[in-house]
């Protein structure tokens, strides 16, 4: 038997249970992967609570998880270019990667670069493609000053590096504990809290050209108050504010392709982007993993080891 995370109803962290499930086999056009590492994401927590029911409803019993990296253990008919034992990373659309095994269409895996850490590979898809889409959405380039909220989080930490690679000046909103890392990757750190807008204006005396919100709260309103055009504001979380003000909401759905994932994996393997790993938990400790995630102060990614 395989094992996987399930929940039977909307609710708190205590709804997450690890249960035995039949070991999956690959059908036509699909591959089965034994999971080595699987990232967890804030959106999964929101789905579990029911907060995103109108946008992404769950059916019960529900599995969980999108990101994964592992080794191919079964191949369905009609699949070429993949062999048993291949090391891959990829994604599932079936909320199923928080498990010992996952089955996906073969087109949803890509070879893991030899130099890429398993934990980075297994947590790259959602955060990486979301960051990629948000950076593209605000059309940042040389000469632009861009502010990123939640700049040390899973998405924010990748977005700031992609922005720097495009030649933008980046201001990262984060706790002071993360300011050293932000400086290391070429970002101007700005502490959140009272007086934030004054600190941003002091750090960007010529104004702010674009804003990426990975945190929520009142950051869309802050961006508008800073004079950022609505077409250059992207939020990946505050959909109510986006509807109210007409800002963008481009994230994983806008760039969640295997080609983008392969590009990001290559960048990470080459050291062009750093993906911080905040913590690693065994699958049985999935509740503890989400308890840490939901404190919303994580620097980088939290990963499960099935």
First to last CA, the chain: 13
Contact 153, 173 (CB under 8 A): no
Q: Taking a C-beta distance cutoff of 8 angstroms, is the pair 133, 252 a contact? A: yes
Q: How far apart are CA 197 and CA 282, in angstroms?
A: 41
Give yes or no for residue 76 having a pLDDT over 90: yes
Nearest to 95 by CA among 51, 55, 40, 53: 40
The per-residue pLDDT for 300 is 87
For 187-201, the pLDDT digits (tens) are 999 999 999 999 999
Instruction: Return mean pLDDT, the chain.
Output: 96
Pair 4, 68: CB distance under 8 Å: no
Half-sphere exposure of 235 (CA within 13 A, CB side): 22
What does the block give as tokens for 170? 């980046």
pLDDT of residue 305: 98
How far apart, in whole angstroms, are the C-alpha atoms of residue 72 and residue 91? 13
- In the CATH hierarchy, which top-level class contains the domain 2-123+275-305? alpha beta
Region 24-42 average pLDDT: 97
CB 102 within 8 A of CB 24: yes
Distance in angstroms (rounded) separating the CA atoms of residues 110 and 268: 14
Give the Cα separation of 6 and 17 in Å (integer): 5
Q: What is the pLDDT of residue 299?
A: 86
pLDDT band for position 70 (cuts 50, 70, 90): very high
Domain range summary for the chain, segments of one domain joined by +: 2-123+275-305, 127-253
> Which CATH number is 127-253 given?
3.40.50.720
Inter-residue contact 232 to 245 (CB < 8 Å): no
DSSP structure string for the chain: -EEEEEBSSS-SGGG-EEEEEPPP---TTEEEEEEEEEEE-HHHHHHHHTTTTTTS---SSB----EEEEEEEEE-TT--S--TT-EEEEE-SSS--SBSEEEEEGGGEEEPPTTS-HHHHTT-HHHHHHHHHHHHHTT--TT-EEEEETTTSHHHHHHHHHHHHTT-EEEEEE-GGGHHHHHHTT-EEEE-STTHHHHHHHH-TT---EEEESS-TTHHHHHHHTT--GGGEEESS-HHHHHHHT-B--SHHHH--HHHHHHHHHHHHTTSS---EEEEEEGGGHHHHHHHHTTS--SSEEEEE-
The confidence score (pLDDT) of residue 296 equals: 81
**φ, ψ of residue 300 in degrees (nearest 5):** 95, -145
**pLDDT tens digits for 114-170?**
999 999 999 999 999 999 999 999 999 999 999 999 999 999 999 999 999 999 999
pLDDT, average across residues 168-173: 98
pLDDT at 298 over 90: no
> Does the structure show a pLDDT above 90 at 45?
yes
Q: What is the pTM of this model?
A: 0.93
pLDDT, one tens digit per residue, over 244-295 is 999 999 999 999 999 999 999 999 999 999 999 999 999 999 999 999 999 8
């Amino acid at each position: 038997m395989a094992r996987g995370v399930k929940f039977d109803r909307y609710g708190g962290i205590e709804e997450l249970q690890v249960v035995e499930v039949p070991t999956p086999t690959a059908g036509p056009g699909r591959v089965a992967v034994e999971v080595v590492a699987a990232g967890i994401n804030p959106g999964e927590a929101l789905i579990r609570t029911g907060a995103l029911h109108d946008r992404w409803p769950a059916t019960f019993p529900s599995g969980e998880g999108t990101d994964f990296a592992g080794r191919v253990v079964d191949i369905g008919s009609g699949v070429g270019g993949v062999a048993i034992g291949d090391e891959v990373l990829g994604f599932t659309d079936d909320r199923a990667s928080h498990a010992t095994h996952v089955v996906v269409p073969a087109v949803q895996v890509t070879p893991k670069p030899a130099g890429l850490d398993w934990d980075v590979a297994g947590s790259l898809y959602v955060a990486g493609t979301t960051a990629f889409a948000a950076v593209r959405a605000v059309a940042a380039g040389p000469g632009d000053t861009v502010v990123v909220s939640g700049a040390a989080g899973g998405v924010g930490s990748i977005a700031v590096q992609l922005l720097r690679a495009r030649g933008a000046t980046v201001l990262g909103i984060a706790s002071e504990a993360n300011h050293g890392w932000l400086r290391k990757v070429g970002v101007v750190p700005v502490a959140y809290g009272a007086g934030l807008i004054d600190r941003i204006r002091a750090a960007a005396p010529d104004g702010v050209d674009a804003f990426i919100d990975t945190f929520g709260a009142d950051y869309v309103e802050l961006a508008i108050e800073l004079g950022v055009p609505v077409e250059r504001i992207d939020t990946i979380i505050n959909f109510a504010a986006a509807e109210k003000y007409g800002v963008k909401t481009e994230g994983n759905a806008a760039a969640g392709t295997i080609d983008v994932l392969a590009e990001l994996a290559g960048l990470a393997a080459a050291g062009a982007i750093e993906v911080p790993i905040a913590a690693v938990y065994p699958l049985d400790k999935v509740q503890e993993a989400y308890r840490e995630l939901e404190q919303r102060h994580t620097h980088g990614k939290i990963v499960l080891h099935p």
